[in-house]
A and B are shown apart, each in its own frame.
Chain A
Amino acid sequence: MADLSLAPAAQSVSAARKQGRRWHKATPILFLLPPLLLYAMWVIGPMFYSVWMSFTNADGISRQDFVGLANYRRLFNDDIFWTSFFNNIRWLVAFITIPIVTGLGLALLLNNDLPGTRFFKAGFFSPMVVSSVVIGIVWSWMYQPYGLINEVLAWLGRDGMPIGFLADPDIVTWAIIAAGLWRQVGYVMLLYLAGLNNVDQTLVEASRVDGASTFRSFRDIVLPQLQPITVIIVVISIIDALRSFDLVNIMTRGGPYNQSNVLAQFMYIEAFNNYNMGYGAAIATILALISMVFIFTYLRRMVKTEIDY
């Protein structure tokens, strides 16, 4: 713009240029400032505040005092913490195996141009549209001693006491995970369907021309191309498994005697039911650390293998 102006004093041109450049540099920062401030205020700030709270005996009403590591010491000696932790591990294992295998299988099946695939795609995805509160309530009805599942089992010829899906400490966690998987499979399937759209069909055809079997061309041509979406799916699954709360809270509240508890529900009870805000914050901090450990080790491994290529 300065170039177009006729015969201005040389000095003022360079000054204007300098100023223009400075503004030019500052513009993105200025544009970013409002969202960054909001982000710091609503996300970063509370995050650090809750870490700070985990070192206090806050109860939400009285004065809070610094208690050092007392909350963490108590946490590692608390049986409920370990029960919840291992239940979270169960969620994690189930969430990064079953939905990925079945989701990918369904995606491959429904990616063919067969009649009715649209219907099934919509069908498998529909649980994602339903609120998790509704899913929790409907599944607990189905799990009742005289609910749908037990009635079907009886009709199929199963004798004896109905199975207490949500009452038996040995199966209750798996019963809740099953409800979670029902929702997750459709989601993973949809992500894989999107991934399959990006697979280069010419490569697949070329491999078939070269005589590769269907399995071979799937393993060596399609699967590697699906790797980026798989990384995303695994990370999403880790996060979903570790933050599981809604279904547990609605279906059992962690019971019977904490056997189906998970860390998020444990934190909720301690912080908002027992009003141990400091202790609850300590649980939340540990849960965040666990998520980070899983996600970062996985991502680092993925980045390394990508460099190896």
Chain B
Amino acid sequence: MFDAHTRILNARLSRRRAAALGAGAAGLGIAGNPLGFHLHAQERSTINLASNASDPAPRERLAGQIENFNASQDQYTVEINTTAHEDFKQAIRTYLASDSPPDVLTWFAGNRMRFFSNNNLLMPLDDLYTENGWDTTLPEGIRAVSNGDDGSYYFVPTSYYAWAVWYRPSVFEEIGVEPPTTWDEFLAVVDAASDAGKVPITIGTQMPWTAAAWFDYFNMRVNGPEFHISLMDGKEAYNSEDVKNAFGPWRELLDRNAFIPQPEAYAWQDALTPLVQGDAAMYLMGRFLYDSFPDDSQDDLDFFQFPIIDEGVPVGEDAPTDGYFASVNAPNPEGAKALLSYLGSAESQTWNVEQAGDPAVHPDVSLDLYNDATRRSVEMLQEADYIAQFYDRDTHPDLAERGMSAFIEFWNTPDDLDAILDRLDEDRKRVYESDS
């Protein structure tokens, strides 16, 4: 299905391209330079862009951005190849290791990117950073997730999105509560929602990453972001008292039946339905929830920051950063750099934001472009002491799979927490010992 879409998109692009070339040729013909058309048509070289933007809205935004790029210069033509988001994670290895890799690929900042840079599969982009001034203009936290372990830049970040607790103001009004800021206030909202016969928190854990968001926040709010990131790097034990403490508030919610029953039966999109219909009060989710929320109800959708549990702990937020990188063996290295320069520019990111895309990382993109809620989310991230990338991006992919499975097991059998964490720590030792 996705392939068919890509083909249609490609066909549409190439039809426009053909039209543009035709118009150009006609113009040149009138100017009495029939050879010009020939040269002009051959000059453009192809840049292959492998994309994971398979959901309809992001896919159309990327197609539009690429159309702008194709129109902005006459040296290159970009071909987009879209792979379904989850499949892309597996396919990218084959892409990068092949003899003719795509020139530019969509990917995630931080450890997920470093795996490839450490294997010498990515093009170093230090010159691009100096040329465009990104080495000074981009926020420090963003630059810190764009370089490899060797200090070179390999990644062009373009956008990020905040995680937060989403709710419908009309539902909060109905049950008579205000958005909470502390843990006690949050529990009061949970109780009020239960009393009103609503599911306090909806979640779909058919794909277990949704549960990992809760772990990220509990661990960052209880133990602080610094501890969290060392746990993600495999430097702390999972069966320590600190980690067990992080499960305390989670247990509190489970004991109150705060979550929707049988979350494993739902994908994250399915779990959105009760929130839309007003049967559930809250949903911890990334900003991409907007794309799946019905347009006519978007005015009645707002968010609040994940409640503070311990006042004395620095505030960390999950804000996965997306962007692009180039293969070290890109068949069209000049084209790859030209495209990356464009995608990293304030101009192209502004366009993306105007099409309701995720907040841009470039500081020259005006905050006025965002709607109220998004501006508040950007401000929330700017005030945070630390920006994490999300559980399955921050930690080793192998351990992430085991960890997320452990969270779901805890969800089902909370009394077995100690045994679950002991086992997870065995996995941590194995993963990080085999790596060093």
Contacts and interface: CB of A to CB of B under 8 A. Distances in A.
Per DSSP, are chain B's interface residues mostly helix, strand or loop, or mixed? Answer: helix
B193 to A, nearest CB: 18
B93 interface: yes
B119 interface: yes
A167 B405 contact: no
B262 A145 contact: yes
Interface in A142-174: 143-145, 161-162, 164-169
Contact of B90 (A169, A253, A272): A272
Interface in A35-68: 57, 60-62
Interface string B422-436: 010000001000100
A125 interface: no
B205 A256 contact: yes
B264 interface: yes
B261 A161 contact: yes
A296 B194 CA distance: 58
Contacts of A144: 265-266, 270
A167 B423 contact: no
A166 B207 contact: no
A62 to B, nearest CB: 6
B262 A167 contact: yes
Interface string A241-256: 0000000000011011
A166 B261 contact: no
Contact of B408 (A60, A257, A269): A257
A205 interface: no
Interface stretch (A96-104, A113-121, A211-219, A273-281): A273-281
7 contacts: A57-B434, A60-B97, A61-B96, A74-B430, A143-B265, A145-B266, A255-B408
Contact of B401 (A165, A169, A274): A274
B206 interface: yes
B412 interface: yes
B397 A256 contact: no
Nearest to A143: B265
B93 A60 contact: yes
Contact of A166 (B119, B208, B265, B430): B265
Interface string B72-106: 00000000000000000110010011000000000
Interface string B236-270: 00000000000000000000000001111110001
A225 interface: no
Nearest to B434: A57
Contacts of B409: 256-257
A74 to B, nearest CB: 7
Which size class do B's interface residues fall under? Answer: 20 to 34
B121 interface: yes
Nearest to A60: B93
A57 to B, nearest CB: 7
A169 B406 CA distance: 14
A304 B265 CA distance: 48
A258 B265 contact: no
A267 to B, nearest CB: 13
Nearest to B97: A61
A61 B93 contact: yes
A220 interface: no
Given A74-B430, A272-B90, A166 B401 contact: no
B398 interface: yes
B189 to A, nearest CB: 24
Contact of A275 (B93, B264, B265): B93
Q: What 3 A-B pairs are tightest by C-beta distance, nearest first? A: A164-B262, A167-B264, A257-B409
From B264, B406, B409, name the one whose CB has the most chain A CB atoms within 10 angstroms. Answer: B264
Interface in B91-140: 93, 96-97, 119, 121
Given A61-B97, A145-B266, A161-B262, 4 more contacts: A255-B208, A255-B408, A273-B397, A275-B397
Nearest to B427: A78
Nearest to B265: A167
Contact of B264 (A57, A61, A255, A274): A255
Contact of A167 (B121, B207, B263, B401): B263
A79 interface: yes
